Amino acid sequence: MQLSAAGFAQQVNLSASNAPLKSILATISKQTGYDFIYTEQLLKTAGPITITVKHGELSDVLEIILKNQPLSYVLDSKTVILKAKEESILDRIVKKFQEIDVTGKIVDESGKPIPGATVKVTGKSRAVISGLNGEFTLKNIQETDVIQISYLGFDLLEVKANAPLNNIVLKTATNKLDEVQIQAYGTTSKRLSTSNISTVKAEDLARQPVANPLLALMGRVPGLQISQSNGSPNSGITVRVQGQNSIVNGNDPFYVVDGVPYPPQLLTTGLNGGNLGNSGRTPGNPLSFINPADIESIDVLKDADATAIYGSRAANGAILITTKRGQAGEMKVDLSLQSGFSEFTNEFDKLNTTQYLEMRREALKNTNAVVTPANAYDILNLYGYDNNRNIDWQNEVLNKKSPFSNYQLTLSGGNNNIQYVIGGGYIYQGSFLPGNFENTKASGHFNISSTSKNRKFQVQFGGSYMNDSNTLPSSTNFVAAIVPALSPNAPALYNADGTLNFAVDTDGLSSYLYGNNPLASLSAININKTRNLIAHAELSYQLFKGLQLKANLGYNDLNSNELVTTPLSSYQPYVRPFVSRSSQFADNATRSWNVEPQLNYQINKNWGNLNILLGASAQQNESQGQVTNASGYVSDELMQTIIGATTLEGAGTVSSVYKYSALFGRINYNYKNKYLLNYTIRRDGTSRFSPDYRFHNFQAIGAGWIFTEEELLKQNLAWLSFGKLNVSYGTTGSDQIDNNLYFATYGASSRTYQGLPVLSLTRIATPDLHWEETSKFNIGLKTGFFKDKVLFEVNYANNRSTDQLLAYLVPYYASGFGTVSSNFPAVVRNTSWEFALNTTNLQTKNFSWTSSINVTVPKNTLVSFPNLANSSYASRLVIGESVNISRQFHFLGVDPATGQYVYSDSKGNPTMNPNATTDYVSVDLNPKFYGGFQNTLTYKNFSLDFLFQFMNKKAKNEYFTTTLAGAVANNQPIFVTNRWQNPGDIAERMLYTTNSSVSFNNSYLYNDAGYTSASYIKLRNASLSWKVPQLWAEKVFLRNASLFVLGQNLLTISNYYGRDPEFNSNNSYPASKTFTFGARIGL
C-alpha cells in the first residue's frame, strides 16, 4: 500500500497516544509530502504509538516511532519504504531463548473437548490439529506471536501465545457463513463449501404450527419448490429441487434421516388417495410421520458436487434431516405447550338466491324448456326448496373452527464422554367438517452419544417412532367441493330431529345436487393407522492420528393399516335396497436397512488441509401391500372387521424387493482457506436394471476461490468482508422406476391347457433398460459486505437429463402390447437462477432487525424428442416448451350473435367446435419465479418473526367448471352474472343454459381462458414471543420460560379465481388458517 501527499514541509509535529502506526504515517505523509509504501500484513506486527514532537526532523521522528517496533525503513527520494527489521545475531540468540512451547486444550461452551480444530500461528506457516481430547502443542513459538484457533461451526479465536493456555473456549458461530451445514457423509460451512447447499435450522421449524416438516421449508430455500395437494392432515406434498428432470418417472429428492435413507413415496395400495392427494406419484406423504420438533436442521443439496456421492438416489437433489443431539451439561427438561385452532380460508363468492333464480329461469328460457317439477323443482319451491331462503353453505357447514394442539417434552444432558436426549410429543388436528374427525400423532425420540476415555472410540445411536391415527373421511374433498355448490335456496341438510334430510321428490329420489345429501358420505368410516420407526447407529474408531474407521447403520419400518367403509347410511334411501354394505381393508409395509462402512483420512500441513473419504453402501427395501374388498355385511356394526363379510376379493397387491450397493470416495483439499477443491466418485448398482446395465459410475468436481483472502483485496476493499466464487460439474443417474421392470411377468389367465389353468404374459422383457442420467453444472458467487452484515448469494444451475425412461407406444402386432418401457433419447433441460440476500439492518443493545429474501427463476425445457409427432406423447409435449404443460383450446371469447363460446382453430380462424387433435395451444404450468421474504425483529425480551412466500404461475381457475351456469340445483360463482343475454351483447360468459350440449364436446372445460394467473403472496407464518426475565424465571425455579403466539397461512393476496391459488384446485380440502398460543418452559 502507498500513502502520498502533495505538501512539502520539512518538519513534523505529532501528538498521539496509543495511536495505530497507519494513522501516524498518514499524518507524516500529509505534513511532509513523503510517500510511504508498506503491506497491511507488515503493519499488523506493529504496536501502538505514543509520541509528542514539535518541529522534528523526518529522520529523527521515524527513528523514534520505529525504535521499539519490528520494522525498519529505507529512504528513496521522496518515498519511505517500510520493511521488517533484520535481526542481528544477538537478536536471534535472545529470540531463541525467548521461544516457548504453547500448549492448550480446546473445548466448546459446555466444556466438551473439540478434536480436529486447526491451531496456527498468525502470519507463519506453523499449524497443528488438536487431538482427541482437544489438546495441542506448538513448539518454539515466540511470546509475541498470536495463536489462531478455528473449527467448523465455531467463531474464529485469536489469543496471545503463552506456554500454558489451559482451556480455550470456542463459541458457537454466529456468522451464517460459519454455521455448520450437513453434507453427504460429513459437515461443511457456507464459507468453505464448493457446493450449492441451503440449510433451515430448528428455530425456524419451531415457529410454525405444522405437522409435516416439509411445510416448514416453503418459501425458505432457493431452488426448492414445494406444492401441497390440499389442506388435509397427511396430504400429498410434491417436492422438486431445481425442476423436473424426468418426463414421466420419479422426480423426488433423496431423503436421508440421520444417515438412514427414507422413502419419498408411500405405496400405491393406500385407500384414501382421493382425499389426501398425491406427492407426485402416490397418495399422502411419508414425511408426515416425522415429528418436526425432533429436527435440528434440514439441509437441501442441489448441485452435482453435493449430490453425486449419493449416486443415482440423488439425481433430483437430496434433503438431509438431522435430529437433535444431547449436549454436555446438567440435565435439562424442556417443555413446549401450544394449543389453538384452524379455520376455513379463502371462501369465494357465490350467487345469492335472487341471482340464482334469475340464472335458472333464464337458462330454461334459453333452451326453450317447459318448466316442470322434474327440471325446475328448485325454483318451484318443491321438496323443501324455498325461494325465500338465502344460505351461504360455506359458512353454514364449513365454518367450524378445528382444534390444533402440540405438546413436546425433552430431557437432555450429559458430560464430556456421554450425552443424551430423550423426548416425546403429541400433535392433535381436528377437522372443519361436521362430526368428530381427527388426526393424532404420538411420537418419541432419543439420541445417545458416547466416547471412550481415550476418545478414540465413539458410538452414537438413536431412533424415532411415531404412531399416527387419521380418521378424516375419504369423502372430505367431495364434501368440501359440493357443499359450496348447493343452491342458496336448497333444503336444510338436517331434519328437526337431527337426522339427515334427503329432500326426496315424488319418486323417492333425493333432489340435492348429485342425488344425495352431501353429508351422508360422512357416515362412511375411514381409519388409517400408521407407524414409523427410524433407527440409526454410528460407530467410529481412530486407528491413528488423522485416520478414522466408521460405520453407519440404519433401519426404517413404515407400515399402515387402513379401513374404509361404505354403509347403507351413506346412500340416499331410495337406492339402499339395491346396494350392499362394503368395506375395504389395506395393509402396507415398507422396511429397509442400510450399512455404510467408511474410512476417513485427514491431514493438515503447511501445503494445505487434505481430507480423503472412502466408503461402501448396501441397502435393501422390502415393500408389501394388499387391498381386500369385503361385502355382504348384514349390519353396519360389523363393517370394521373382515370376518363379518360374506364375500372377499383381492383388489390390489404390491410385493417387491429393491437392492442397492455402491462404492464411493471423496477428496477434499483446502489451501489456506483460499483455494478449495472437491472431487467425488461413486459406482452404483441397483436391482431395478438387468445385470448388463446394473452398475454405473457417477462423479463430480467442485472448486472454490475465496478471493477476499488475496492480499490485494484485503488491503483495498475493506468493505468487502467475504467473497467466494465456486463452480461444479458432475453427473448423477436416476433409477426411480418400478422394481424389476426389465423382466417379463406372468399372471393368471382365463384360458386352460388340457383342462388345466395356465399363466399368460402380462409384461414383456426389456433387458436394455438403464439409468436416466443427469449432468449438472453450477456456478455460484457468495459475498459478504460490511463485516458480513450483508450476505448476498447467487447461483446459476444448468441441468440436462437424457435417456428418458418412457412407456413407449409400439404396434400391437409387434409385441402383443400397446407400450413397452424403454430409454428414449429425449433431453430435458432445467436452468435456474437462485438469489439469496441476508441483512442485519439494525443492531443495538436492545433492538435488532434482520431480513432475508430469496428468489428463484426456473426454466424447464424439452430440448429434443426424436419422432415426437408419431409418438404417444405428441398430445402432451412440445419441443422447446416445458414438460409440464397443458394442451388447451385457444379461447377467443363469446360470439355476440349467438352467445356461444368461440375458439381459434390451428389457422387462427374462429370456431365453436375446435378439433382436439390440432386446435390447441400450450399453457405452461411451471412457475415463472418463486421465493420468500423473512424479517426478524427483537426488542429486549420480545421477538417478532414473519415470512411471506410468493409465487408467479398459472393454474386452472373457477371460470370454467364441470357444469355450465344454469344447471338444476347447482350454484355458481358470482362472476357468471356477466353473461350474454341478447344478440349484440359483449360479455365474458356465454348464455345461461341447462344443456351442456350447446357447448360442443364440452370444449368449455378445455380452453386456455380456464388457466389464468394463480400468482400469490402469502403471509405463510408469523410468530410473536416474549421471554420471561431471567430473574422472574429463577424465582419460580425455572431455567428459562417464554410465551408465544404462532400463526400459519394468515393472509393470501391473489387475483386467482378460485378457492386457493396454492392448490390449483377448487375441489379440495382448503388450506387452514392456524393460530396457536403457548409457552416454552425450561427446568
d(CA 925, CA 922): 9
In a domain, 1071, yes or no: no
Q: Please, are residues 104 and 117 in contact by the beta-carbon 8 Å criterion?
A: no
For residues 26 and 64, membership in a common domain is answered with yes
For residues 101 and 170, membership in a common domain is answered with yes
d(CA 307, CA 301): 6
For residues 55 and 113, membership in a common domain is answered with no
For residues 94 and 66, membership in a common domain is answered with no
Q: DSSP letter at 968?
A: T
Cβ-based burial of 64 (10 A; exposed 0-12, middle 13-18, buried ≥19):
middle
Q: What's the pTM?
A: 0.87
* 682 Cβ contact partners less than 8 Å away, ≥ 6 residues apart: 308, 309, 310, 311, 662, 663, 664, 665, 697, 698, 699
d(CA 1074, CA 1077): 10
> According to the model, what pLDDT value does residue 997 have?
55
> According to the model, what pLDDT value does residue 813 have?
45
d(CA 1065, CA 228): 11
Q: Please, are residues 212 and 236 in contact by the beta-carbon 8 Å criterion?
A: no
User: Between the CA atoms of 952, 955, 957 and 963, what dihedral angle is there, to the nearest 10 degrees?
Assistant: 180
What are the φ/ψ torsions at residue 680 (nearest 5 degrees)? Answer: -130, 150
d(CA 434, CA 361): 33
Residue 129 in grid coordinates:
490439529
For residues 75 and 97, membership in a common domain is answered with no
d(CA 1059, CA 1066): 5
Q: Please, are residues 186 and 259 in contact by the beta-carbon 8 Å criterion?
A: no
In a domain, 608, yes or no: no
Burial letters 727-753, b for 16+ CB under 10 A, else e: bbbbbbbbbbbebebbeeeeeeeeeee
Residue 727 in grid coordinates:
463452480
Residue 667 in grid coordinates:
477428496
| Domain final residue pick, 22, 53, 85 | 85
- How many domains are there within the chain? 2
For residues 135 and 149, membership in a common domain is answered with yes
| CATH number of 115's domain | 2.60.40.1120
d(CA 772, CA 805): 6
| Domain final residue pick, 61, 85, 109 | 85
For residues 46 and 94, membership in a common domain is answered with no
User: What tens digit of pLDDT does each residue of 647-680 get?
Assistant: 999 888 888 899 999 999 999 999 988 999 999 9
In a domain, 78, yes or no: yes
User: What tens digit of pLDDT does each residue of 363-397 get?
Assistant: 999 989 999 999 999 999 999 999 999 999 888 88
Residue whose C-alpha cell reads 405405496 in the numeric block: 267
For residues 80 and 96, membership in a common domain is answered with no
In a domain, 578, yes or no: no
d(CA 588, CA 270): 8
> According to the model, what pLDDT value does residue 381 have?
94
| Domain final residue pick, 46, 69, 85 | 85
3-state secondary structure of 375: helix
d(CA 319, CA 299): 6
Instruction: Count the neighbouring beta carbons within 10 Å of the beta carbon of residue 776.
Output: 28
For residues 163 and 101, membership in a common domain is answered with yes
d(CA 388, CA 622): 61
d(CA 826, CA 277): 29
| CATH number of 78's domain | 3.55.50.30
Burial letters 153-178, b for 16+ CB under 10 A, else e: bbeebeeebeeebeebebeebebbbb
* String of DSSP letters for 268-337: TT-S-HHHH-BSSSSBS-GGGGS-GGGEEEEEEE-SHHHHGGGGGGGTT-EEEEEE----SEEEEEEEEE
Those residues of the chain that have pLDDT short of 70 are 1-10, 87-98, 125, 269-278, 399, 475-477, 809-818, 961-962, 996-1002, 1065-1067, 1070
SS (H, E, C) 591-604: EEEEEEEEEEEEEE
In a domain, 113, yes or no: yes
Amino acid at 924: D
* String of DSSP letters for 172-237: BP-SGGGSEEEETTEEEETTT--S-EEEEEHHHHHTS--SSGGGGGTTTSTTEEEEES-SSTT--E
Helix, strand and coil content of the chain, in percent to the nearest 5, comes to 15, 50, 35
In a domain, 985, yes or no: no
3-state secondary structure of 1003: helix
User: Residue 54 sits in which domain range?
Assistant: 2-85
Q: Please, are residues 592 and 261 in contact by the beta-carbon 8 Å criterion?
A: yes
d(CA 612, CA 598): 10
For residues 97 and 119, membership in a common domain is answered with yes
For residues 151 and 170, membership in a common domain is answered with yes
In a domain, 763, yes or no: no
User: What tens digit of pLDDT does each residue of 184-234 get?
Assistant: 999 888 999 999 999 999 999 999 999 999 999 999 999 999 998 888 888
Question: Among 223, 195, 221, 224, which residue's Cα sits nearest to residue 309?
Answer: 195
Strands (E), 369-434: 402-414, 418-429
Q: Please, are residues 1040 and 1027 in contact by the beta-carbon 8 Å criterion?
A: yes
Helix and strand element counts for the chain (H, E): 14, 55
In a domain, 12, yes or no: yes
For residues 37 and 62, membership in a common domain is answered with yes
